[in-house]
Amino acid sequence: MTETVFFVLCYIDSFNTSYNSTDLQGRHTKRDMAGKKDYYEILGVGREASADDMKKSYRKLALKYHPDRNPGDKEAEDMFKEAAEAYEVLRDPQKRKIYDRYGHQGLEGSGFSGFGGFDDIFSSMGDIFEEFFGFSSRRGGSSRSRARKGTDLRYDLTLSFMDAAFGTETEIDVEKMENCDDCGGTGCQPDTHPSVCPQCNGTGQTSRTQGFFTVRTTCSSCQGKGTVIAEPCNSCRGNGQIVARKKVSVNIPGGVDNGSRLRLTGEGEPGYNAGPYGDLYVFIHVEPHSFFERNENHVVCRIPISMIQAALGSKITVPTLKEDKEVEVPKGSQPGDVIRLAGQGIPSLRTHRRGDQIILLDIKTPTGLSKKQEALLKDLAEMEEKKFSNKLKNILKGDRKKN
């Protein structure tokens, strides 16, 4: 059985505490408790800035502080890294939403902790540099020929209300790219191997000097792979991968809700150049229930009772998530009164403690009465009318004396 790994993303709000540094525009900028600068101030834009405004600002900073233009300048390198990290977050709507709400610590909780160095920046943002400057602007050797993690995948899974509440194990059918069995992912015919591209000598790129920059473009001979295949595999036609369907076992913990996300490590697509597999993210959608409603970890239900039961009090049988329970209706209950059953709700994903079941009393007026029932109610009505009439008179009498 495929082992599944479940991650619950828990974000901690961050607070800005000091103004002890300057941004790339030379102005004072905030640092949070982790010592990181505010991304908007790094780029010199407001929090409502559009994607185009941020792109224009980042382009100027990337050009100004690019390491090829500032050789040996440590401060320029740091500023280049900061700008790249800020733009990488703010250009992504999902990362930007997390950052706006939870700050840097929220991003760390979602798995993003910045770039490790220039190679990470150029590998992740090569498309941006190509758009800005007309070339990929990679430094050193080509990152294209290095091992890279495979593509992450998404699967939307619909669960019943009860399966979401108690958890379940299910199997999903995922279509994805897999390494070709015939060639083992090499893309070559049996007993043959790829050879180093003679045009780029295995770097995947050709280089030329343009102003302050070393301009590297994708090798036209090997398409950036660094190798060429003389005898491609018949099954995958030299790609090394084929489309396949795979059944994946998923263990759903009790307490998931709409929008919950499960991460299955290594169930994505295969990596490039022997890189690790990507991950599979399972997004949960929960069907509504005909009787129960969910409110955080509590379940809410409405129970109809008669006017007589409400007036005199009674015992009623109420369905819970697990079983039927006998519940005492207090004497004199009113419409909208609540009865709470502790620990009969849905477990918390974080603490595993169960919420409560909240019962809303829906008091019904009787219909289709017999003559005897009508007579009894009339007698009751007359007594109640005298009772309320006397009470009202006493209230008014007291008010009139004051005047």
Q: What is the pLDDT of residues 114-157, one digit of tens each?
A: 665 665 565 555 556 555 554 444 444 444 445 678 889 999 99
Residue with tokens 């982790």: 34
Is residue 108 domain-shared with residue 64, that is, in the same domain?
yes
Q: Which domain covers residue 319, as residue numbers?
A: 293-364
Q: Is 299 in the same domain as 395? A: no
What Cα–Cα distance (Å) separates residue 368 from each residue in 271, 291, 374? 72, 26, 10
pLDDT in tens, 40-55: 999 999 999 998 898 8
Same domain, 22 and 93: yes
Is this model's pTM higher than 0.75 or not? no
What does the pLDDT read at residue 24?
Answer: 43
Give how many domains the chain has, as a whole number. Answer: 3
CA–CA separation, 12 and 106 (whole Å) = 6
77 is a domain residue: yes
In this prediction, residue 16 carries a pLDDT of 36
| Per-residue confidence (pLDDT) for residue 341, from 0 to 100 | 92
Of 145-154, 290-299, 383-392, the poorest mean pLDDT is in: 383-392
Residue 211: inside a domain: no
In 91-221, DSSP assigns E strands to 153-159, 167-179, 195-196, 205-210, 213-218
Pairing outcome for strands 16-22 and 28-32: antiparallel
For the segment 311-326, the average pLDDT, to the nearest whole number, is 88
Q: What per-residue confidence (pLDDT) applies to 109?
A: 62
- 383 and 360 share one domain: no
Same domain, 381 and 360: no
User: Could you tell me if residue 303 is inside a domain?
Assistant: yes
pLDDT confidence band for 393 (50 / 70 / 90): very low
Residue 124 maps to a domain: yes
| Amino acid of residue 262 | L
Distance between CA atoms of residues 4 and 295, nearest Å:
28
**C-alpha–C-alpha distance, residues 238 and 36, integer Å:** 46
pLDDT for the residue 86 = 87
Do 35 and 129 fall within a single domain? yes
Residue 127 and residue 43 share a domain: yes
Averaged pLDDT of the chain = 77
pLDDT 10s digits, 160-187: 999 999 999 999 999 888 888 888 888 8
32 Cβ contact partners less than 8 Å away, ≥ 6 residues apart: 14, 15, 16, 17, 38, 103, 104, 105
- Phi and psi of 106, rounded to 5°? -65, -40
271/281: higher pLDDT: 281
Which residues touch 67 (CB under 8 Å, ≥6 apart)?
73, 76, 77, 80, 118, 139
Q: Specify the pLDDT at position 121.
A: 64
Least confident window among 57-66, 131-140, 264-273: 131-140
Q: Are 254 and 355 in contact (CB under 8 A)?
A: no
Residue 150 lies in a domain: no
Per the CB < 8 A criterion, the answer to whether 392 and 363 are in contact is no
